Amino acid sequence: MRIKLLNIQIYRNLSGKWRIEAEIDPESVALLRRFLDKIKDRAASAELSIWRDKRSLDANAYAWKLLSLIADTLTLSGCATTKDDLYIEMLKRYGQGGVVKIQPGKADSILREFAYKEPHEKLYDSDDQYYRVWVGSSHYDTSEMSIFIRGIVQDAKELGIETLPPAELERLMHQWRKA
């Protein structure tokens, strides 16, 4: 369960027990009530992190639409490609990634977490392997997705592909920004 908490306070009550108090996002109240009804008097666990708005599904749909148009344009001009191949290329250009060191025998279990990976030169004299990896856009927060889509839009414009009008693109980008 993911709920948005605001104005979080921690205090000690008269009996000496510590309590947390927070304002709950109105959209989360019903969800939290159902959860509390389900667990009754049992203990629950919670993990707190800084709130980041999830990326919009509109953002994902728009990215894939542009990738399809770019692939079609390139294929018609004699450079056959697919939207899936372009997605990997765009991850490399505008996406999130880095170099990871993996101990021998652990590559398969670790590398399946990444959308794209390729061997990287050894950085140290050891049996460890190094890979350059890129995270899939489904794991991006709104800021990362915004950067990713702006890159794709720029590439589409360079090919003469019509993109959303600037005002509409700005409206969508505003939805994708971090809270």
Q: For the chain, which residues make up each domain, given as ranges?
A: 1-51, 57-176
Stated pTM of the model:
0.62
Contact 137, 95 (CB under 8 A): yes
Q: What angle do CA 115, 116, 119 make, to 5 degrees?
A: 145
d(CA 170, CA 168): 5
Predicted confidence at residue 174, as pLDDT, reads: 67
Fold topology of 57-176:
NinB fold (1.10.3790)
Predicted confidence at residue 141, as pLDDT, reads: 81
Q: Hey, CA dihedral for 83, 84, 89, 94, is it positive or negative?
A: positive
Contact 62, 152 (CB under 8 A): no
pLDDT tens track, the chain, 179 positions: 888 888 999 999 999 999 999 999 887 888 888 888 999 889 988 888 887 766 666 878 889 999 999 999 999 999 999 999 999 999 999 988 888 888 777 777 777 777 667 777 766 667 778 888 888 888 888 788 888 999 999 999 999 999 988 777 777 766 654 33
Please tell me what DSSP assigns to residue 88. Answer: H
What lies within 8 Å, CB to CB, of 48 at 6+ separation is 5, 8
Predicted confidence at residue 69, as pLDDT, reads: 96
